[in-house]
Structure formats: structure tokens, C-alpha cells
Structure 1
Amino acid sequence: MRSLEIHAVRDLRLAEREIVPPGPGQVRIAVEYGGICGSDLGYWKHGGTGTALMRHPFVLGHEISGRVAELGEGVTGLAVGQGVTVHPARTHGELPERLAGRENLHPQLTYFGSAQHEPHTDGAFAESVTVDADQVVPLPEGLSTRRAVLAEPLGVAMHAVSRAGDVTGQHVLVSGCGPVGLLVVLAARAAGARRITAVDLSEVARERALTLGADVAAESPDDLDEESTVAFEAAGVAPSLEGILRNAARASVVVQVGNLPTTPVQVTLAALVTREIDYRGTFRFVDEIERAVELLATTPEAEQVISDEFPLDQAEAAFEAAAGRGSSKVVLTIA
């Protein structure tokens, strides 16, 4: 089968690998779509993402959808040909008691397409992937595999919204309208936000945010006529966070969604004290992917997040598009 390996910075290669038959309690999936994530781009552009540095070649990709191709012994509740997506995380060993309910913070967690551990964890940009049955998330009736490729990043967005607490009736600000920021808009609307303001320098990104449920779209939080009570920083750059802190209401909540650099950044934090702002982090998700497929099934406009599709053998062009201006979620068509 064909798989997409990263060998070095800007060195993607299609490689032939053996199909892995499912063992007991496992499922083999024929992958149809794969979404390119910011972490995939990080390995391609810089050889790493966050603290994870690539030391040897591995297969990229953790946002996938497809159909069940083969069931291992003892697997029930799934059928060959059924549309599915996959939870890309596996935990190893007991979760510390203080982290109960927060499996995403497990100290021994592996994730598809990640160089965090040695050996690296192969991802799922491949024609076939074999996973444990409890990682498989069946698609609700009416949800296409194309739209379902957004389930993993929507799970990230829904987890970020949950980190803010109850957003019902709140004025929500989303700064940064890349794919995850757009999905935060969608998730905040589904969670009952009263008003959603999207901020991005790109007019195209702002238009997408309005399609996804934002009430207002602006170039800067300084342009707002109402303070936000909940804000999500989804651009991962210091000026975006600084703009939020300048304009956040007293006793508001700010959730850091975008990955900030591992090097020092300069941000004026005085408002955290004088306005008693809660600044919170968010990391991946726990089990929100199961709710994400339900939301996607009833939200056809979510497909507006997908801006480009490329076949697997044009992966280099797909990554160039994903790294360029004007694109949103770039998807590989695999099967």
C-alpha cells in the first residue's frame, strides 16, 4: 500500500508498505481522506512541532476518515464498508489520579503521526491503517467521509470551548480563523454563545467565519464595539494574544488554542491582574471526537472549512497549499 513518509525538512516521499491485517480486537480501515494539520506542516517546514523533533522517517497524518475494510477476531458493532473516523491517541499505563478525566494529559500518550516518542508513532496518511477497535468512531447516518475528515480538529475545537466553561449567553471572540479557529466558531455556536466575533487579517478567512456562524468579523479586536467575555486565541502568535488581552472584559476567560512558539514571546500581561482574566491552555481533546461527528452530521456548512483537495501523489503541492495564504483545511484524497 502507498503511505506518505516525512524523511527530512521538505522531504516527503510516497513509500510502499505492507498492509497490516487486524489482530484480535483490531480493525483495518481503508483511508479515504486525510486532513493536513499544523503539526504535519511543522515537521515538513521545520523538522518538528512544539517539543517533538523528528529523528528518523515516519508516516504523517492523524486527521482521517474512511471505511471499515476488515474486522479482527472478537470485534462487534462494526461492519465492513461502514464509514468511520479514528481517535488518534493511545495511552500506556495508569492515569495519575490528579488527572482523572483528562486522558489527553496522560504522561505516556502516543498520537498518530507524532515524533514525540522514540520510536516515532506512524500516522495514517496511507491507503490502509490498522487500529484498536476502541479507537474507531462510527459515522452517523448522513455524514459523508469527506466532511468527517474534520472530526479530529473539531474535537480539538470542542475541547477548547469546554475549557472556557459554560459559554451560554456569552460574547465569544475567536482570534485567528484558520481551520481550528473556524471550528471553534462552529463549536461555540453549538454550545450556546450569544454573540461570536471572529478576528483575522484575511478577508477570505473572515468570510468563512461568517459562514460558520460568526455574527461579526473584524481585522482586529481593537475594532470591536463590545468587550468579549470569553476569547479563544487560535492564531498562535503574540500580537493576536496581546490584542485579546487589550480588549477582554473584566473577569473574562481567555483560552490559548493556537500553538505558541517554544521560544520566548513578548506579550503585555498586566490585564491578567487588573481585570482578573483567567488564561487557560487547551491540548488536543479527550473524547469530544464522538460528539464532533454528531455535530458534523447536522452541519453541512462545516465543509466550508475545506478549501483544497489533492490526491496523495500530489502531497508536495498539498503541503505547499496548506502553508500558503488563503487556504484553510487542505485535504488529501487517498482512496
Structure 2
Amino acid sequence: MAPSATGDSAPMHIPAMSKASTINASVLHGPRDLRLEQRHIQEPGIGELQVAIKTTGICGSDVSYYKKFANGDLCACQPLSLGHESSGTVVAIGPHVTGFNVGDRVALEVGIPCGQCGICRQGRYNLCKKMRFRSSAKSFPHFQGTLQDRINHPATWCHKLPENISFDAAALLEPLSVALHAVNRATPTPGSSALVLGAGAVGLLTAAMARQSGCSTVTIADVDQGRVNFAIAKGFATHGYVVPKQLHTSSSCSSLYNSSNSGTSTPCEGVMTPASTISFQSSLDTAKTLAAEMLAEANDSSPLIDDEGDGVDITFECTGKEVCMHTALYATKAGGKVIMVGMGTPIQTLPMSVAHLREIDILGIFRYANTYATGIKLLCARNRPTRGGYVLPNLDEMVTHRFKGLDNAKGAFELASRTVDDDGNLVLKVVIEAE
């Protein structure tokens, strides 16, 4: 199922007789070494569509590659086009493709599994060992991202859009899918209480999906006042908690930073103390304090804690940091669930007895599976309240900054790594739009 377009892998020689055209691509060659280059793209192959990219959102993993040429343990070893939160328009159709027409508006699901292995046949294709994911260095040659004029992509993984969904909102279907998958794993019952740690794009959308699924109380916590205020004002969460300055500027409480999409996270620079200087017990004490304060904050106006004061039914940990996992465990009541959404610190020391003795389920998620159709339905019905009366926020309002054209990609990446712009305005989701 792998795309055949040369624009979807490392630049390569195109035989003179093959039908190819030239496109522009934003290509990362090293840390902050972003170049606008020309690449060749062939006509779409069997089962493929050629899509003109209209909007690409910048994810925390993209920012990590931009700054370090690596994302966690994944180090890029050849030039890489970034971008995987994307939507566009069909401009050409390959052989054996049905159900699409030139001009169709589509959202791109950019992870391509093998479709043949046991895990794919079970429907959990996000766990496929042969998965190729755009803008990730995991596979080699790297599967090139969507910051290109056009790409060839399997029609199976292109989702048609109704006219009432904007290209910007369609690009946000990717982080929305992470949130949907997290809530699907949590299986909350109506009236449940939830806590979301991290108020980046994924954290906000996870809070919204928790509310949409029937959670009556959803508290979101972050170090950034602006993002917490946004979450409450726009209806993503019912309650907010800002980590006090004296906490998040000392010890590992600074880890309560903003969650990114696709299961990755981007730290707030300048507030981190090396973990080696902090004792494990100090971290646990901090987490206990944070958990108690978060619960108390919301409990002033809503029964967030149960009769025994044990905590919330579900905690969604959207930062991937150790102290946040500690906080999640202490904030979750006996018999509850902690959902690991963010991917950050790869090796963590956790107070497992807290989960063990209280039978707290710890569930991990990795990206998403079978979510795009649901996400599109939710966006189409955005103005219709759920049975509980909840109305999904307007995802277009999450886009705080727009950059026109691939030649402005560098400025977009620089801004995406910040929480406020030069004018002091909130930076939440930065997108690059076609000119």
C-alpha cells in the first residue's frame, strides 16, 4: 500500500520517460535547517489519489524534529518533509480508485499500515509493526510529510469532507483522532468525572471528547494561564487549574506543560530543573499536592470528588512527563483509570503501589484507529447538542496563527514552539496554508 510518488520518499532520479511534474516542498536537513526545494512527483499509482495540500497543522513532534532533527529516540538520517495534520483537494485519480472525483475535499489519515498482519485484521492497525507514518523518521526511507504542494496518497486513507468543514478544521481531525482514541480506551460512563493534564491541542480535544462522551465534570490543568482560560471560555472543559508559579518553576512540576497531538509533547523551555537534582520523594510530594489542589479547585462548585474524597473516575495524562503520571495516579480514585496519552519521558519511576492497592487501570494509547469517520460526523453535527446538552467547540477557533505558503514554514515552526507571540497573544495551533 506504500505510495509510489517520489515526493513521498527521499528525492530520487526520475527516468526521462516517466510522467512527472515538479512541486515545491519544505524539507528539513538538520536542526532548524529548513529549505524550500523542488521535487518531482509522478502521476498517482494504483489505488492512489493525488492531493493538493491546503492546510497543514504543526504538531509537537514536528517542532521536535525541527529543533533537534529528532523526536525522542527517532533520529532523522535523511532530509525530511514534516507535517501530518493535513487536508486538501483531489487533483488526480489513480487506476482502480472509485468513489472519488477531482475536486473532492479530503482529510488525510497519514499512517499507512500493512493491512495484512494479525493486529491489522483485528482492527488495531495503529499498532502495525510495518506502519509508515508521514513526517516520522521511524521507517527508512522516511515517509515524507505533507508540507509539499501535492502528494500521492492511498485513497483508502483519504476521507471525503462535507462543505461545512473547513480545511483548517479538517486538518485538526488528526489530533481529534488522538482524543477520540483516548476516550474510546477510557470508556467513561455518563456522569463520570475526568481530569486532563496538559492543555495543548490534544489535551483540549481530549477534554472536549470526554465531555461529549458524557463526563459531567472535566477539569483541565496546565502551567499556562492563557491555555486554561481558553479551555474554559470555549467550553472544552468545565473547570481549569493553573499550576502555581512557585511550583512549576521549581522541581519537576514544570512538566505540566502543553500536550501536543499525535501522542507527543513539546516542553515549555526555560522552566525545567534537571530531574537528577530532584529526589523521587520530593516529586511524589509535589504530585500529591498538585492532585489535592486540582481536585479541591473543581470541588468548590461541582462534586468532582466522590463521597470518600478519593478523586476522579478518569485521568487523561497528555504530557508524557513523570511528575504528571505521579499526579494522575494520586488524582484518580480507587477503581478508576489513568489513560497515557502524551509520549514524553521514555523511562519513568512510578509509585506503582498507588495503582496496585487501589486497582487503578493504567491504559496506554498510540495514535488512533478507526476514528476519522466519527470525527467528521462530530464536526458536521457541531451545533447539535449531545443528550447531556454539550455542544462541541468550533475547532477553527483553535487555530491561532496562519502562515501562507511553504516559504514561510520556518516562521511557523519558530512560533509553534512558543506559548505566546510577540504581541502577547496565545499561541495554540499554528497552521501553514497553501497560497
TM-score normalised per structure 2: 0.73
Are residue 314 (structure 1) and residue 408 (structure 2) matched?
A: yes
- The one-letter code of the counterpart of 1:165 is T
Distance 1:20 1:188, change over 3 A: farther
**Paired-residue identity, %:** 32
Q: Deviation at 1:301? A: 1.5
Partner of 1:295: 378
Partner of 1:84: 106
Tell me how far apart the structure 2 counterparts of residues 11 and 261 of structure 1 sit (CA, whole Å): 26
Deviations 1:260-300 (A, max 9, x none): 223x3344333112221111110001120221122123336
Distance 1:33 1:192, change over 3 A: same
TM alignment of 1:205-284, pairs within 5 A: 205-210=227-232, 211-220=234-243, 221=291, 222-224=293-295, 225=299, 226=305, 227-262=311-346, 264-284=347-367
Tell me how far apart the structure 1 counterparts of residues 380 and 147 of structure 2 sit (CA, whole Å): 23
- The one-letter code of the counterpart of 2:394 is E
Q: What runs of 5+ residues in structure 2 fail to find an aligned partner?
A: 1-22, 244-290, 300-304, 306-310, 383-392, 421-426
Tell me how far apart the structure 2 counterparts of residues 97 and 130 of structure 1 sit (CA, whole Å): 26
Asked if 2 retains the 8 angstrom alpha-carbon contact of 1:85 and 1:151, the reply is yes
TM alignment of 1:124-163, pairs within 5 A: 124-163=146-185
Point out the structure with the larger strand share: 1
Deviations 1:234-276 (A, max 9, x none): 12222222222222111110001111223x3344333112221
Distance 1:97 1:86, change over 3 A: closer
Deviations 1:57-95 (A, max 9, x none): 121111101111111233221122221111111122632
Q: What runs of 5+ residues in structure 1 fail to find an aligned partner?
A: none
TM-score normalised per structure 1: 0.94
TM alignment of 1:320-331, pairs within 5 A: 320-326=414-420, 327-331=427-431
Tell me how far apart the structure 2 counterparts of residues 268 and 208 of structure 1 sit (CA, whole Å): 32
Partner of 1:102: 124
Q: Deviation at 1:48? A: 1.5
Tell me how far apart the structure 1 counterparts of residues 126 and 120 of structure 2 sit (CA, whole Å): 13
Tell me how far apart the structure 1 counterparts of residues 100 and 229 of structure 2 sit (CA, whole Å): 39
Q: In angstroms, what is the RMSD of aligned CA positions? A: 1.8
Further displaced range: 306-315 or 101-110 = 306-315
Asked if 1 retains the 8 angstrom alpha-carbon contact of 2:399 and 2:431, the reply is yes
Asked if 2 retains the 8 angstrom alpha-carbon contact of 1:2 and 1:126, the reply is yes
Deviations 1:166-198 (A, max 9, x none): 343210111100011011012112212121111
Partner of 1:189: 211
Asked if 2 retains the 8 angstrom alpha-carbon contact of 1:208 and 1:305, the reply is no
- Counterpart selection for 2:199 from 177, 200, 221: 177
Tell me how far apart the structure 2 counterparts of residues 171 and 99 of structure 1 sit (CA, whole Å): 34
Find the residue that maps to 2:180 and give its secondary structure: helix
Which structure has the greater CA radius of gyration?
Answer: 2
